[in-house]
Structure 1
């Protein structure tokens, strides 16, 4: 088995040394078959993987890596939903085995591979829990993460899944208020897990705070306002929002309530920066990496962002914890020019759920076509 990483220098080594776990926001079977994921662990300090319906839909549409499995599934005449579960959990299980050295080296914090609950269930607490349990059982790897969105209906599902001993990646977090609710759901879930007799040291969680989409939505509104004052604030929302989320993290995981769980073996729910690919070419392509460096966080990057950071990222140490006042001032300025931040995060959550539903339907349609071809 290839080593987790070499002691190579460069920006990614500096980022890792600063306490940021580097994860890849991508997965496909070709990368697994050719050893591409192992190479990223070895060369670029990658210690985790996140997936989502969009990533799987893209993987299924390109190449022939899935043809043999879809032919077998077609021969068995399985349903489309069952076929999707079989295909995606196969890749996640394989990736989890590849990442097992990172899992062992980090005492279970890293070496994780995330798989998302069917996004059509995002507003359905009961069935989200049932699907989370099914995916946990199907992947059957202790270094998996089941992704549950931080919708209002998702919050109690997060608690219940944690209480059942399932490690959870909470996704689609945009607002500080919702992040506080996610931390509460985590703490309650871990307390229940303890009551249920689970080993808390085996249950991990991350809270995925989405970054670039915040700038995309806010900047669109700033451009519509059109004043010089508004235009000067472009690109100021996402990093400020994420930095304040870290402040909220420090508060939640500095409490006596958390300390009691930590004494029982629990590990904190780490903040994870998601959506870190820069969408506006006016901004540096590494900004959502280098401006969000703090101890104990995860940054999951598309490969283009990973490569850009490796090539020319300027790691300046902790760029988060000393900037809370400036971050709050940035959000206050946005409010002053007419940006309704509460509406921004509501729109982003709704759009996030909708986009993943669209990708899921695209995935279902792709698998349906392949099943039809395999049965012919």
Structure 2
């Protein structure tokens, strides 16, 4: 039986992707169970997720021992472990991929976070990971840094599907869409089948509230406090307006007419950080057609248990969303400063998780010798 609450979200046009992956989840059959029971149609990963999975020590011992026997170092071992997980998950989602003509059934794997400021290095590793996973329904995650924009274009141009991650600002989102469309144009000029290229743009939600709410609390006036926990949803709703406008442009419509796919908005960081907020806030308030919501398991469980989905909550909400961000600005909170800080913090967190993962795997390799 499919859960009626997750089915209602899917019927609204939202693709539910799980923000987690591990060897245990694959081998236990739990990933397949989520497909069958709660409408999960994709998976995203990042360095923190793999640090939690591999760092747990469960399910990876034999594979690490094999890598040690082959003389692989920690970075090479991580590539072996993570690409194997992603390839196996892609196989589990093969039916979804076929049924949705490639839109869903996707499994994302991220380039090393230390490459976020290295355009050439990102392009090279994106191609390496794509070849290593060797599944059409994989997606390569590339951070939306300034340096990442050119890498996104080049990767798309090579016929590789891309999940653009760590987007916080509307201006950067516009640049990401341009990078995608430019990549599609280059792919078409090179004779690549553009109908096979898919992309999502991961717009982060809860972290915007966490940062802005802290500043509103510090201001402490009734007007400031009344604005708490509104900016994240407002920012994402305005991102959806950017999506609608951008893909209604003559440039985008021409490419779509030639077989290209629209780059869908993906709501990321949808786990609620403030326990005082409804635990499905960033799911139900951002339900909209042609979007993806990537959820940690706790948020997915909350949705399945008590989430109230009431159709499209985004279209037509743009005037009110603008009013929220204008009111935040009137409190002296600088939107550009906030989004730039969040990008830097996001990269730093992934680098820290990657370093932890390297240390964990280094220790495991030594123990296996």
* TM class, shorter-length: over 0.9
Aligned with 1:115: secondary structure? strand
- String of CA shifts for 1:216-246, please: whole Å, max 9, x gaps: 0000111111111111110010000000000
- String of CA shifts for 1:77-121, please: whole Å, max 9, x gaps: 112111110010000000000011110010000000000000000
How many angstroms apart in 2 are the aligned matches of 1:137 and 1:234?
A: 45
Aligned match of 1:3: none
Aligned match of 1:195: 189
Aligned match of 2:6: 12
How many angstroms apart in 2 are the aligned matches of 1:27 and 1:116?
A: 13
Equivalent positions of 1:257-336 (< 5 A) are 257-336=251-330
Return the match for 2:75 from 81, 85, 104: 81
Aligned match of 1:204: 198
How many angstroms apart in 1 are the aligned matches of 2:214 and 2:166?
A: 20
Aligned with 1:153: secondary structure? helix
- State the number of aligned residues: 369
Structure 2, gaps ≥5 residues long? none
**Structure 1 residue 188: deviation in Å?**
0.2
TM-score (norm 2): 0.99
Q: Does 1:182 align with 2:184?
A: no
Equivalent positions of 1:116-155 (< 5 A) are 116-155=110-149
TM-score (norm 1): 0.97
- String of CA shifts for 1:142-190, please: whole Å, max 9, x gaps: 0000000000000000000000001000000000000000000000000
Aligned with 1:47: secondary structure? strand
Q: Does 1:33 align with 2:19?
A: no
CA contact (8 A) 2:165 2:202 kept: yes
**Structure 1 residue 76: deviation in Å?**
1.0
**Structure 1 residue 191: deviation in Å?**
0.3
Q: Does 1:373 align with 2:367?
A: yes
How many angstroms apart in 2 are the aligned matches of 1:163 and 1:206?
A: 15
Bigger mean CA deviation after superposition, 58-67 or 108-117:
58-67
How many angstroms apart in 2 are the aligned matches of 1:245 and 1:323?
A: 11
RMSD over equivalenced CA pairs, Å = 0.7
CA contact (8 A) 2:86 2:109 kept: yes
